[in-house]
Amino acid sequence: MNADDFDSLTERVLGAVFEVSNTLGAGFLEKVYERALLRELGLRDIRAKAQASFAVTYKGHYVGEYFADVLVEDVLVIELKCVERLAPEHTAQCLNYLRASGRTLCLLVSFRHWCSFKIRRLALPLGCVLPASVRLPTLIRHRIATPL
């Protein structure tokens, strides 16, 4: 998938996020938004999987799993939140999803408690895989994670 394909997919997914927000409004739990988004993506013929698991290894040994809220078309990770303000920990969580999964694009979506939502797009250069030795707070400070 090239950069234009990623941009096109992101645009289509954002349209689904807007529709969910406009239809449901604010105040529901994260799981409600997750199910609604999965339904909306399906209506738009966009393949999506809930609670996608990514194996975490340590020195070649499996040590656990990481679960992303939604995985779209097997390339785009979506992490949903229902918080007033996105914190650095939320960004680090998304970067860990990218690191564990080998994917390069994640949308961090917060359906806030009032009538709007916030989206942060985290993208790694195509072909880039974060090594385990990279300190995530350093990445955040250097703005590899950029808001959309």
CATH code where residue 103 lies? 3.40.1350
- pLDDT, tens digit, 9 for 90 and up, residues 44-67: 999 999 999 988 888 989 999 989
Quote the number of domains for the chain.
1
Q: Residue 117's closest CA among 7, 1, 24?
A: 24
Residue-wise over 131-140: b if at least 16 C-beta within 10 A, else e?
A: eeeeebeebb
Question: Which residue has better confidence, 86 or 48?
Answer: 48
Mean pLDDT of 62-87: 91
Sign of CA dihedral 108, 95, 142, 5: negative
Of 104-113, 118-127, 136-145, which gets the smallest average pLDDT? 136-145
- pLDDT, tens digit, 9 for 90 and up, residues 101-110: 888 889 988 8
Q: Is the pLDDT of residue 124 over 90?
A: no
| CA atoms of 146 and 125, how far apart (whole Å) | 12
Q: Which two tokens stand for residue 59?
A: 């020195």
What SS3 string covers the chain?
A: CCHHHHHHHHHHHHHHHHHHHHHHCCCCCHHHHHHHHHHHHHHCCCCEEEEEEEEEEECCEEEEEEEEEEEECCCEEEEEECCCCCCHHHHHHHHHHHHHHCCCEEEEEEECCCCCEEEEEEECCCCCCCCCCCCHHHHHHCCCEEEC
Which residue range(s) make up the domain with 52? 3-147
Q: Which two tokens stand for residue 20?
A: 């969910």
Q: Quote the pLDDT of residue 122.
A: 75
Residue 93 has a CB neighbour count (10 Å cut-off) of: 17
